[in-house]
Chains A and B, each alone.
Chain A
Amino acid sequence: MTAMIVILGLFGLVAFYVIGVYNRFVTLRNQTQNGWSQIDVQLKRRHDLIPNLVNTVKGVMEFERDTLTAVVDARARAVSAAGPAAAARAEGELTQALGRLFALAENYPQLKSNENVKMLQEELSSTENKISFARQFYNDIATKFNTGLQVFPANVLNALFGFQIAELFLVPDAAEREVPKVDLSMRK
């Protein structure tokens, strides 16, 4: 009789544990998805702004066709990128292409004084800031979710539940990854 009660009690505890783990995974997964959708909103906004920018500057910057094409292509790749990891790579390239465009635009006084260009540049840099701040939040929560899935004994239970590891949104640091330009001309 007592053995029955003990066994039943143990079953109850295990059941409680399993339910608890499952519910924690669901909560974390939803938070992760929410974090991703915050980034996604900003990425979409960025993709929408770029055609406006290109249309505004292309009349003046007609000799910079290569740079403009690079931006348009990078945008197309970013739009079609699926999942956080692929998106992060494509967005990193887009950031670099845009950086070159803005650096070149500095040479055109009529662009620098153009209200429209100024506003688009502000919108784009604000969007980039928002992405980088939202990224931090997303990566934190996704890492928490992944760690929860991978530690023992929750990982054994997950064979039952089948939650997928979340991809991180890791933007390669442009300054870090780019090959440094070495000036060997030794100007004196």
Chain B
Amino acid sequence: MNLLEQQAANRRRTWLIIAVFVGFFALLGAGFDLFMLGSREAYVPVGAVMALGVGSVSALAGYFSGDKAVLASARAVPIVQAATAATGDARFRLHQLQNVVDEMAIAAGLPRPQVYVVGDPDPNAFATGRDPAHASIAVTQGLLDTVSRDELQGVVAHEMSHIRNYDIRLMTVVAALVGAVVLLSDWKTRMMRWGAISGGGGRRSRSSKGGGPIMLVLLVIWLVAIILAPFAAQMLAMAVSRQREYLADASGAELTRNPAALADALEKIEAQVGPTRAIKRGSAHLCIADPLDRKLTQKEGFWSNLLTTHPPMAKRVEALRKMAFEKA
């Protein structure tokens, strides 16, 4: 797949995910009308309309300011602010980071993205935004402390290729919507529990009057959808991100023409065992290395394919070393 095809595919997938998400909201709302309000004599789809509205608004919000939400949740600080607070060597490293980002922006032929620093001792990095003109790259303090200039360049190039092929748009929208689904299903379950206690009897009499077995089946489907939604959403995030890490590694190495440096950086990141605490579960798939440090990430196979956001580090390093060898 060339770059234009990748970009087109990512745009298409973003819209598909947004459509599925809004559809899911509509389904929730329609179910609410049917089972909770239940008065089908004068049917006004209050829930459906409201849910559709809420769904569309949060999809739009995710599209336009998902990056800000992701950055805020990681407590990322703009580099200028971080640099004024820093002194001596730390300040020098921040300066170097800005230089490296500028270099990679030139190499990729993209506008210069915003640079953020996350105050976490574990080395990691991520990129977010909706397109190259509205993109941000964030690295942790731990990364600045552990990697050399060339290695930092490799990491930034990896993030820059996520920006260039619109991975960031897809992954940021997924991050924002996964967050919304998880939030919503928490809220729905609470609502239902409350509904079952206060108005359970009334609802049963109404539904027996109206639908019978069909209504019951619909109710079960609706409940299953609500219960499984957060899992499905997270699985989606995982499936979306795993393969593109290899791709970003390869095209990042193409930008720096130095695959060995990125391989070294990945090994250093892997060597730091601790999880990146500043980065929450919902945005794990944005990072260069799994911030949760899941054991499953080390393995290949069906379950790890399904349940992890990142391919095994050893495989990625191997692929990069091979590139370096072929180049030499």
User: Does A137 interact with chain B (Cβ within 8 Å)?
Assistant: yes
Known: A118-B92, A119-B92, A122-B96. A137 touches B102 (CB 8 A): no
- Tell whether A52 is near chain B: CB-to-CB under 8 Å: no
Q: In the complex, which residues of chain A have a beta carbon less than 8 angstroms from the beta carbon of B212?
A: none
B198 nearest CB across to chain A (Å): 65
Known: A115-B88, A115-B92, A118-B92. A123 touches B99 (CB 8 A): yes
Among B103-111, B170-178, B224-232, B276-284, the stretch that binds chain A is B103-111
| B102 with A130: CB separation less than 8 A | yes
Q: Does B269 contact A (CB under 8 A)?
A: no
Is A130 a contact partner of B106 (Cβ separation < 8 A)? yes
Across the interface, do A122 and B102 meet the contact criterion of CB distance under 8 Å?
no
Whether, in the assembled complex, A53 has its beta carbon less than 8 Å from a beta carbon of chain B, the answer is no
Q: Is B48 an interface residue (CB 8 A)?
A: no
Q: Are A126 and B109 in contact (CB under 8 A)?
A: no
Mark A116-133 against chain B: 1 for CB-CB distance below 8 A, else 0: 001100110010011001
Whether B103 pairs with A129 at a CB distance below 8 angstroms is yes
How near does chain A come to B44, taking the closest CB pair, in angstroms? 57
Give bound CA distance, A134 to B108, whole Å: 9
Q: What 1/0 flags go to A21-56 for Cβ under 8 Å of B?
A: 000000000000000001000000000000000000
Count of chain B residues with a beta carbon within 8 Å of a chain A beta carbon: 14
A136 interface residue (CB < 8 Å to B):
yes
By a CB distance below 8 angstroms, the chain B residues around A118 are 92
* Interface SS, A side: helix
B96 — which chain A residues lie within 8 A by C-beta? 122, 126
Q: A38-B106, A133-B107, A137-B109 are in contact. Are A126 and B100 (CB under 8 A)?
A: yes
Q: Do residues B103 and A133 form an inter-chain contact, with CB atoms below 8 A?
A: yes
Query: Are the CB atoms of B92 and A126 closer together than 8 Å?
Result: no
CB distance from B163 to the nearest CB of A (A): 16
Closest-CB distance, B20 to chain A (whole angstroms): 38
Asked if B95 lies at the interface with its beta carbon under 8 angstroms from chain A, I say yes
B 68-99 to A, binary, CB cutoff 8 A, 1 in contact else 0: 00000000000000000000100010011001
Instruction: Specify which chain B residues have a CB less than 8 angstroms from the CB of A122 in the assembled complex.
Output: 92, 95-96, 99
Q: What is the bound-complex CA distance between A38 and B109, given in angstroms?
A: 11
User: Which of A115, A119, A133 is within 8 Å of B106, CB to CB?
Assistant: A133
Q: How many Å lie between the Cα of A146 and that of B107 in the bound state? A: 22
Give chain A residues whose Cβ lies under 8 Å from the Cβ of B109.
137
B107 x A126 contact (CB < 8 A): no
In this complex, what residue of B is CB-closest to A128? B103
How far is it, in angstroms, between the C-alpha of A137 and the C-alpha of B107 when the chains are bound? 8
Q: How far is the CB of B156 from chain A (nearest CB, A)?
A: 12
Q: How far is the CA of A110 from the CA of B255 in the complex (A)?
A: 35
Question: Residue on A with the closest CB to B93?
Answer: A122
Nearest Cβ distance between residue A77 and chain B, in whole angstroms? Answer: 25
Known A-B contacts A115-B92, A118-B92, A119-B92; A126 and B103 likewise in contact (beta carbons under 8 Å)? yes
List, in ascending order, chain A residues with CB within 8 A of B95's CB: 119, 122
In the docked arrangement, what's the CA distance between A133 and B99, Å? 13
Least CB separation from B104: chain A residue: A133
Complex CA distance for A129 and B100, rounded to whole angstroms: 9
A123 partner residues in chain B, CB cutoff 8 A: 99
- Asked if B88 and A126 make an inter-chain contact with CB atoms under 8 angstroms apart, the answer reads no
Q: Chain A residue with minimal CB distance to B100?
A: A126
The A-contacting residues of B in range 243-273, CB under 8 angstroms, are: 255
Q: How far is the CB of B171 from chain A (nearest CB, A)?
A: 25
A108 to B100 CA separation, bound complex (whole angstroms):
27
Chain A residues, CB < 8 A from B102: 126, 130
Using a CB–CB cutoff of 8 Å, the interface residues on chain B facing chain A are 88, 92, 95-96, 99-100, 102-104, 106-107, 109, 153, 255
A: which residues have CB within 8 A of B? 38, 115, 118-119, 122-123, 126, 129-130, 133-134, 136-137
Query: What are 22 A-to-B residue pairs whose CB atoms are below 8 Å?
Result: A38-B106, A115-B88, A118-B92, A119-B92, A119-B95, A122-B92, A122-B95, A122-B96, A122-B99, A126-B99, A126-B100, A126-B102, A126-B103, A129-B103, A130-B102, A130-B103, A130-B106, A133-B103, A133-B106, A133-B255, A136-B107, A137-B106
Sorted nearest first, the 7 A-B pairs with minimum C-beta distance are A126-B99, A133-B107, A133-B106, A129-B103, A134-B106, A130-B106, A130-B103
Given contacts A38-B106, A123-B99, A133-B255, 11 further A-B contacts (CB under 8 A): A115-B92, A119-B92, A122-B99, A126-B102, A129-B99, A130-B102, A133-B103, A133-B107, A136-B107, A137-B106, A137-B109
